[in-house]
Structure formats: structure tokens, C-alpha cells
Amino acid sequence: MNNDIKQRALLSISRTMPQPGVRVVACEGEIDDDTAGMLCDALRADDGGSRFVLDLGAVTFLDSAGIRVLFAAHRDTVAAGGWLRIAAMASEIEEVVQVVGLPTVIPCYPALAQALNA
């Protein structure tokens, strides 16, 4: 299992591989203009594959910069033959995601286990 951890004042990101070829990217904190680049880096396809589950359960803020990263990451993972799924959003994050129509493009699941087993 590969475990990468990145942290900045308002956001920490960990990457694990609980299943072969599937990375879980777990975020805690705020995803905004200052931290969106960290998320972009964490969702890049690499030698570990291009299948990602993004766990947003501990995210407290998501703005348009974060939304742009999610749409771009989806586009890039699909182009690389993979996929992106989102899991475990708090209700305030889910409201933002619903308003911009993200679930019509990226599958969203209420729990990490559901996203991993979809």
C-alpha cells in the first residue's frame, strides 16, 4: 500500500491504495483557490493508475477553484482510461456540488465503501 500525505495550513490530503489500481484521495479542510493545486496534483494519473475515489467527508469548504479541479480531473482520468468517483460529502459540500451539476458528470456516493465497490 502506498501512502502519500500532503498538508498545507487549510487542507491536508492523503492518498492510499486499498485496492490494486484504485487510489483513495482523502481530503480534510478547505478546497479553495489557495489549495486547489494540491488537489489537482493528488488526482493526477501516475504509475499507480488512473482510477480514483475522492473522499470529501472531512472537507468543510469547496469553492469554484475546487469544482474546476474536479471537472478537469474527471476529464483527465477518463482520457487515461480510468475514472473518478466522489464519496462521503458533508451536506454543505453536497449542496455546492448539486448546484453546479457535478453528479451528472462524476458519480457521487454517500460512503467510501459504496464508491469503492461500485
**What is the per-residue pLDDT across 3-12, written as a single tens digit (0 to 9) for each?**
565 655 689 9
CA dist 6 and 113 (Å) reads: 23
Domain that holds residue 16: 4-116
Whole-number pLDDT of residue 45? 82
Q: How confident is the model at residue 35 (pLDDT cuts 50, 70, 90)?
A: very high
Assess whether pLDDT exceeds 70 at residue 1. no
**What is the per-residue pLDDT across 51-91, written as a single tens digit (0 to 9) for each?**
999 999 999 999 999 999 999 999 999 999 999 999 999 99
- The DSSP secondary-structure symbol of 21 reads T
**Which CATH number do you get for residue 102?**
3.30.750.24
| Residue of 81, 82, 79 whose CA lies nearest to 25 | 82
CA dist 88 and 56 (Å) reads: 6
Enter the C-alpha cell of residue 105: 458528470
Split into its structural domains, the chain has a count of 1
